[in-house]
């Protein structure tokens, strides 16, 4: 049941002390960096903000794609990056795919910064 490599507690969303309190060790940095990296693109940042602020708590790809000047496959790629970073999750419901945020992960990032 226990996981020996828990760095990000998916229940509490906790991971590490705030930056100002203690330096991250290499393992914590390896866990957190890919999450920040996923936010390091303007399209992905807007995608996450649209999904996170959506009323109903989730958003259809069909509503995300037309908000950008890039192709559908490119949006799909960026959503995959956010998904693999553990920041969002999505599921198909019939014709459409809906994405919602994973708030514990986002909270963990916020906690490290402050």
Q: By CB under 8 A, tell whether 8 contacts its own copies.
A: no
Region from 4-12, 31-39, 70-78, 92-100 binding its own copies, contact rule CB under 8 A = 31-39
Degrees (nearest 5) of the Cα angle 26, 31, 37? Answer: 110
- Return all residues near 65 (Cβ < 8 A) that are at least 6 apart: 72, 75
Q: Among 97, 102, 105, 108, which residue interacts with DNA (rule: CB under 7 A)?
A: 97
| Tally of residues, the chain | 114
Among 43, 110, 36, smallest CA distance to 76 is for: 43
- x/- letters, 74..103, toward its own copies (CB under 8 A): ---------------------------x--
- x/- letters, 12..51, toward DNA (CB under 7 A): -------------------------x--xx-x--------
Instruction: Please give the C-alpha separations between residue 34 and each of 31, 40, 41, 94, in angstroms, as whole numbers.
Output: 7, 10, 12, 31
Q: How far is the CB of 92 from its own copies (least distance, A)?
A: 23
**Site residues (CB under 8 A) for its own copies?**
19-26, 29-30, 32-34, 36-46, 48-50, 52-53, 101, 106-107, 109-110, 113-114
């Amino acid at each position: 049941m226990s996981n020996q490599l828990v760095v990000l507690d998916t229940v509490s969303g906790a991971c590490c002390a705030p930056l100002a309190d203690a330096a991250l060790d290499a393992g914590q940095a390896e866990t957190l960096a890919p999450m920040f990296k996923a936010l390091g693109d303007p399209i992905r940042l807007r995608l996450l903000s649209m999904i996170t602020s959506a009323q109903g708590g989730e958003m259809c790809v069909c509503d995300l794609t037309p908000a950008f000047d890039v192709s559908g496959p490119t949006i799909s790629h960026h959503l995959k990056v956010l998904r693999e970073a553990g920041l969002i999750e999505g599921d198909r419901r019939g014709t459409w795919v809906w994405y919602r945020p994973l708030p514990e992960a986002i909270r963990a990032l916020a906690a490290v910064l402050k």
